[in-house]
Amino acid sequence: MSARRSTGVILIASGSIGLLIGLVLSATMMGAICGIPMVLFCIPMIIWGYLMKAKDQAIKDERLTERMLMTQAVASGVNLCPKCRAPNPQTSAFCAGCGFGFVPSADPRPVSAIDPADSALRSKQVKDQNAPVFEPEDW
């Protein structure tokens, strides 16, 4: 989207400069050979730049409206599917309309309910993946 915006601005700026130069050249009789085609070329360039800028603004407004709708839906306790825009309850893991899998929310257990042995086991797996998880018992 930023490439489109910069292209539109560049077209408008270069078209305006070319139009000014073409008008100055057209004022003299000797430069009219180059000035009139330059004016005729720069006018559509300016129009094209303004059209690109307007389309970019419309896309930007549409995305802003979509983000606001998603924010309001989440605040009211509803998941909106990013694919089909179907409203779903926050407790559902999949969209009822298209089957899109929502990202699971955080662990619902309180911090006090986490088993220290379980967390130690997981931390050992992450820290050294080649070492065995359980120590071999030698009798």
**Domain residue ranges of the chain, discontinuous segments joined by +:** 2-87
| Residue 48 phi, psi (nearest 5) | -60, -40
pTM across the whole model: 0.53
Helix axes 32-75, 2-27, angle to 10 degrees: 160
Tell me what the mean pLDDT of segment 71-100 comes to.
77
Q: What is the pLDDT of residues 28-43, one digit of tens each?
A: 887 888 888 999 999 9
Give just the sign of the alpha carbon dihedral 33, 34, 35, 38.
positive
The answer to whether the CB of 8 falls within 8 A of the CB of 50 is: yes
Could you please report the per-residue DSSP string of 66-130?
A: HHHHHHHHHHTTEEEPTTT--EEETT-SB-TTT-PBPPP-S--S-GGGS-HHHHHHHHHHHH-SS
Q: Residue 131 pLDDT > 70, yes or no?
A: no
Which residues neighbour 56 within 8 Å (Cβ) at sequence distance 6 or greater?
1, 4, 5, 8
CA of residue 109 relative to chain centroid, distance: 33
Kindly state the percentage of the chain with pLDDT values over 70: 70
